[in-house]
Structure 1
Amino acid sequence: MEKDKKTKITVRAAIDASLERVWKFWTDPEHITHWNHASDDWHTTHASNDLKVGGKFLSHMAAKDGSMGFDFEGTYTKIELHESIEYVMADGREVKISFSKKGNETVVDETFDPENTHSIEMQQAGWQAILDNFRKYVESKEG
């Protein structure tokens, strides 16, 4: 399947929390390990995050039964505090995440280049599931 340079996938969630809280939960490895999975049979066993331009992040995602795992990693190319994060994944695909206030909610939009192995629909569903887990995690935590 030839990669279409124009194809981008976007997922979105409206989260009932402050912009500052959403940003903290998105970027703090202590929180990332709790929400960064697409299904309940997967989890993130380790996360590191050097949130600065040129900094790197890594989340080790693994099946809970130990059958498989992989590193999701990238390098930050642009960061605007409480507004947006951009990075390039290890395979060269680009991602942009924007954070915006809408009334009492914070809207997170995540746009990314698809890979060539899985269908657009499958990739969108997977990233949306992770974003939905993020929303549930942020809204369920006290403080």
Structure 2
Amino acid sequence: METKNRTAITIEATVKAPVEKVWEYFNGPEHIVNWAFASEDWHAPKATNDLRVDGQFSTTMAAKDGSFSFDFGGVYTAVIEHKLIEYTLGDGRKVKVTFTSQGNETKVVETFEAEDTHSIEMQRGGWQAILDNFKKYTETK
């Protein structure tokens, strides 16, 4: 099997909420369906999450007009409550998410391996838009 060096992309957001709430909203399927999309013309009609090492997760992301949808999923490789999540996507790319408590705020940093189809800028923008949507949802609920 060929090992490919992939570009790592990092995005981040500081959420005005304690780490316990941020963790719950980031990982609870009942919350994921409310934020796991990059723009208002998309939505996440379904999410499952077995948050443990070797557990699987899947989120369906779909255009609201029904023209396109895909499942975003993978398997967890590390989980440290309120601190760290690492997983491998279905295509083999790796993702690391850290949660740093800063009192009543939480810094969320995601580093993911880029795929080969879309530009680095497009991938960074899409993932950042989803994280920004998560921040907005968590801060207003």
**Secondary structure of residue in 2 paired with 1:82:** coil
Instruction: Report the AA paired with residue 35 of structure 2.
Output: W
1:135 alignment counterpart? 135
Pairing 1:69–2:69 present: yes
Structure 1 residue ranges, 4+ long, deviating more than 3 angstroms after superposition: none
1:56 alignment counterpart? 56
What is the number of residues matched between the two proteins?
139
Percent same amino acid among aligned pairs? Answer: 55
Instruction: Report the AA paired with residue 60 of structure 2.
Output: H
**Secondary structure of residue in 2 paired with 1:47:** strand
User: What runs of 5+ residues in structure 2 fail to find an aligned partner?
Assistant: none
1:13 alignment counterpart? 13
Task: Kindly state the Cα deviation for residue 7 of structure 1 after the two structures are TM-superposed.
Answer: 1.7
**How many angstroms apart in 2 are the aligned matches of 1:85 and 1:29?**
16
Task: Kindly state the Cα deviation for residue 105 of structure 1 after the two structures are TM-superposed.
Answer: 1.1
Which residues of 2 match residues 19-34 of structure 1 at below 5 A? 19-34=19-34
Instruction: Report the AA paired with residue 53 of structure 1.
Output: V
TM-score normalised by L of structure 1: 0.94
Task: Kindly state the Cα deviation for residue 5 of structure 1 after the two structures are TM-superposed.
Answer: 1.4
**How many angstroms apart in 2 are the aligned matches of 1:71 and 1:133?**
18
Deviation string 1:21-58 (CA, Å, 9 cap, x unpaired) is 00000000000000000011111010000001000000
Task: Kindly state the Cα deviation for residue 104 of structure 1 after the two structures are TM-superposed.
Answer: 2.8
**How many angstroms apart in 1 are the aligned matches of 2:133 and 2:84?**
20
Deviation string 1:65-108 (CA, Å, 9 cap, x unpaired) is 00000000000000001000000000000000000012431000
Task: Kindly state the Cα deviation for residue 134 of structure 1 after the two structures are TM-superposed.
Answer: 0.3
**Secondary structure of residue in 1 paired with 2:33:** helix
Task: Kindly state the Cα deviation for residue 132 of structure 1 after the two structures are TM-superposed.
Answer: 0.2
Which residues of 2 match residues 43-122 of structure 1 at below 5 A? 43-122=43-122
Deviation string 1:94-138 (CA, Å, 9 cap, x unpaired) is 000000012431000000000000000000000000000000000
**How many angstroms apart in 2 are the aligned matches of 1:67 and 1:104?**
40
Q: Is the 8 A contact 2:11 2:110 kept in 1?
A: yes
User: What runs of 5+ residues in structure 1 fail to find an aligned partner?
Assistant: none
**Secondary structure of residue in 2 paired with 1:34:** coil
Task: Kindly state the Cα deviation for residue 4 of structure 1 after the two structures are TM-superposed.
Answer: 6.3
TM-score normalised by L of structure 2: 0.96
